[in-house]
Chains A and B, each alone.
Chain A
Amino acid sequence: MKKSIKLTMVMLLALTLVLSACGKKNEANNGGAAEGNGTKSDVKVGMVTDVGGVNDKSFNQSAWEGLQAVKDSDGISVDYLQSTKPDDYITNLNKFVKGGYNLTWGIGMDLGEAIKTVADQNKDANLAIIDAVVDAPNVKSITFAENEGSFLVGVVAGLTTKTNKIGFIGGAEIPVIENFAVGFKAGIEAVNPNAQVMISYTGAFDKPDLGKTQAATYYNDGADILFPAAGATGTGVFNEGTARKQKGEDVWVIGVDKDQSLEFGDEITLTSMIKRVDEAVKRVSKEVVDGTFKGGVETLSLKDNGVGIAETSSKNVSAEILAKVEEFKAKIISGEIVVPSALAE
């Protein structure tokens, strides 16, 4: 026993020596980097991702880009914490709240319950959440009119399709995703009543293999345009589409949340339905800087530029169709067309 204690001490000593030696070299680097930012504001904003992580190429990443934009423009300090499992939501949120952050973001509807708990326990803290409605006076809930954005890409799909068969692949049968499907279908039917719309849900947001299988099924059934709204599962849809495109088949995929042509390429991405999570994050974070932050629910629609279609769409979509899209957009904004919603109670 004595031996082992001695040995442990030696090892610990060695560890501290090595570590402190390593540490010094790096501290200089870090210090330099921190000074370079030139912080102007005392406001601190934190965000907690869902299990998708900050590099999910979807809304977590978009939100983080939004925060960084505010950091650059207003000089606030921003930070994020990734959740590896649902247990982490509350502790991560608390890390910011108890750390005196002026605003804490929860990204994704998965965090709804956690935000509610933390908000109730910390009445003075400001919190905000994307894609979910949380009923608490100190929480700002941001939702998007996905149905309106999907309507527009539906118009593009309806006018572009040659086989008159179009597929929608959702991540799960939940209101937010059904809202995409309902709007998409309405958009297609508005311009092309003969088109057949096939809708299915893979049941997972993180399974590219399922997306690929479903995409293959739809393409084999004769569909030529697919619209996945399924997070990383959508990657599989793009992979299947790209493979078929290379074999000379005339197929397309419509991107979701971000301009996915930037990631998957123009040859397969027909257009993208954009959800401006970054804009929302920017706006609400700035409200905190200005001191005008208030809890409540806000739905960002076409009118607020909260949803829309990607600017790069003109590469693959004819000017004629885009003009039609603009026409519908104006009609939706003016209220002439009311896009059906899956969220209506």
Chain B
Amino acid sequence: MNKIVKIFSGSIIVPLTAIVMGLLVGALIMLLGGYDPLLAYQSLFSQVFGNLYDLGETFREITPLVLTGLAVAFAFRAGLFNIGGEGQFIIGMTAATFVGIKITGLPMIIHAPLALIVGGICGGLWAAIAGYFKAKRGVNEVITTIMLNWTALYLANYIVRHFLLLKGQQRSENLQDSASISIQWLSELLGNARMHWGTLIAVLAAVFFYILLWKTKQGFELRAVGLNPHAAEYAGMNVGRNIIKSMFISGMFAGLAGAVQILGVFHYQSVMSGTPGIGFDGIAVALIGMNHPFGVLLGGFLFGSLTYGSAGMSFGAGVPPELIRIVIGSIIFFIATPGIVRYVLKPLYAKRKKEKVL
């Protein structure tokens, strides 16, 4: 317990204040637009926690965000900026779809995990391409990962169109039942909400992230390279190999996110006209979570419930769902500018100091 407190105590106050300030900015803009912010936030809240179905769907919304958030956070910890969560997500989706459709005759206990693992590994390899260029040629990973997003999108569309297409439709065939990771009994319990094992996987991934980075020698190396590659090299660590490794693990998280969406939610893959955006949202989740795995869990929870709740906001108070992006944007803005937050909090701190003196 003490440890957890230690991790957060210094940093929790800034994000919390930032969240409140973000909500306030949202309320202000709603007022300007002639909406009722109180009613809006009320409907948002009841959309998320109002009934079992919505609660289940909120978790469905949160799951991939946590995974892509972990992907971005992991790369950050190793000193890399992985903007390619999007592409790795798509590759994970496509790989899982491919395995889910093309491999037949396996029992569920093997087929579903196989599709998941292949999705994760392919996502990881996709990110490792950018890591390889960075390690061997010093190519900035920001640029390569963005470029790989588009490559992934068109590659995925090509694969769906040419190998997996359902005739006359813009989507793949349905997966075989044995590849599904949906939890039927839980879905039935929650009014047909789309529940799946991916949520558990996301939590396990966060734990894995924590243990790997802070409890193993390998994790120490990854962090050292992130903090100061020159010092790490001087200490005898192989910087290049560590960069590739951390990109691979980062991409694996994003690939898993794509795989669970396919195996747990859609059970087929559409031809996409644009990237789905969950990989980019992962950057926001990582920022809100201060790049800590358990922070990312909370950040994903916040981001996911706000996003899912935005439908309720537009339903109950007529507020356009885009407004929630303004709220999220402001939250990130305030988190990224702790100076502003501290300035707001200054009177409170000053008062307390005075009390102490007295």
Contacts and interface: CB of A to CB of B under 8 A. Distances in A.
A203 B20 contact: no
A23 B261 CA distance: 38
Would you call the interface of chain B mostly helix, strand, loop, or mixed?
Answer: helix
B315 interface: yes
B311 A206 contact: no
B79 interface: no
Contact of B168 (A22, A86, A87, A175): A175
B237 interface: no
Given A4-B13, A86-B270, A204-B273, A22 B311 contact: no
Interface of A: 1, 3-4, 7-8, 10-12, 14-15, 18-20, 22-23, 26-27, 29-30, 79, 81-82, 84-88, 90-92, 94-95, 98-99, 110, 113, 121, 172, 174-175, 203-207
A149 B312 CA distance: 39
9 contacts: A4-B13, A18-B27, A19-B38, A29-B34, A84-B321, A86-B270, A87-B261, A95-B312, A207-B273
Contact of B266 (A14, A15, A86, A88): A86
B186 interface: no
Contacts of A15: 20, 23-24
A17 B284 CA distance: 28
Given A19-B27, A22-B31, A205-B273, A91 B308 contact: yes
Lowest 8 A-B CB distances belong to which pairs? A23-B38, A204-B273, A26-B36, A11-B20, A4-B13, A19-B38, A121-B192, A91-B57
Interface string B188-205: 000110100000000000
Contacts of B339: none
Contact of A23 (B37, B308, B321): B37
A287 to B, nearest CB: 24
Contacts of A1: 5, 9
Contacts of A206: 273-274
A125 to B, nearest CB: 12
Interface of B: 5, 9, 12-13, 16-17, 20, 23-24, 27, 31, 34-39, 41, 53-54, 57, 60-61, 157, 168-171, 191-192, 194, 261, 265-266, 268, 270-271, 273-274, 276-277, 308, 311-312, 314-315, 320-321, 345, 348, 352
Contact of A4 (B12, B31, B54, B314): B12
Given A18-B27, A79-B315, A8 B36 contact: no
B36 A81 contact: no
A79 B168 CA distance: 32
Contacts of B38: 19-20, 22-23
A204 B274 CA distance: 8
A217 B168 CA distance: 28
Given A26-B34, A81-B315, A113-B268, 19 more contacts: A7-B13, A7-B17, A7-B345, A12-B20, A19-B27, A22-B37, A26-B31, A30-B36, A79-B315, A82-B320, A84-B321, A86-B266, A91-B57, A94-B192, A98-B191, A110-B270, A174-B169, A174-B170, A204-B274
Contacts of A11: 16-17, 20
Given A87-B61, A204-B273, A8 B16 contact: yes
Contact of B311 (A7, A12, A26, A88): A88
Contacts of A207: 273
